[in-house]
Amino acid sequence: MIEPIDQSRREQVLERTEHFIIEAEEALERPFDRIPVRFDLRGTTAGMFRADGRQREIRYNPWIFAKYWDVNLDGTVPHEVAHYIVHEVYGPRRVKPHGQEWQALMHYFGADPEVTFKLDLEDIPQRRQRTHPYRCDCRDHQISTTRHNRMLKGAGQYLCRYCNGPLRYAG
């Protein structure tokens, strides 16, 4: 199993993130807030810009960075900074996530505007979503935590695709 990047490498990622924010400020002639950068992303995603209201953050996967350092420093960091800048300039849902505005910024950064990379992630820790037991009239089902929580709140009801019967919690 691969080990996540250490503090020294995290500092390099933070410096690179800051570098691209400064480049965007110079190009667009306006300041941008410094948002939290976290190294807590797991699974098969190398990076993520996330906005929830006025809360914004960039998250990186320290295991994928450890395995593919140069690819992520040169590709993932500008990719996520570009998402952040486009969000700040155009607002949420006003442009496509990897649309022409994002692509133009990636070109300005000198980065490849490729959306995803296809590399071997076999030894990267994967998230495992917990499932919950449910039953219908014909069989047992394993339901994701997301759907389970929706049903508990009364915000969703799911039917069996075979017998069309409602799923009932069996735990």
Which residues are designated catalytic? 80
Tokens 């990047």 -> residue: 5
Strand spans (E) along the chain: 37-38, 47-52, 55-60, 131-135, 140-144, 168-169
Residues in Cβ contact with 65 at an 8 Å cutoff, skipping those fewer than 6 apart: 4, 5, 9, 13, 39, 46, 72, 73, 76
Residue 32 and residue 49 in contact, taking contact as beta carbons nearer than 8 Å:
no
Taking the CB of residue 114, how many other CB atoms lie within 10 A of it? 11
Task: Report how far Cα 48 is from the mean position of its chain's Cα atoms.
Answer: 3
The distance between the two most distant Cα atoms of the chain, rounded to a whole number of Å, is 63
**Residue 120: exposed, middle, or buried by beta-carbon count in 10 A (0-12, 13-18, 19+)?**
exposed
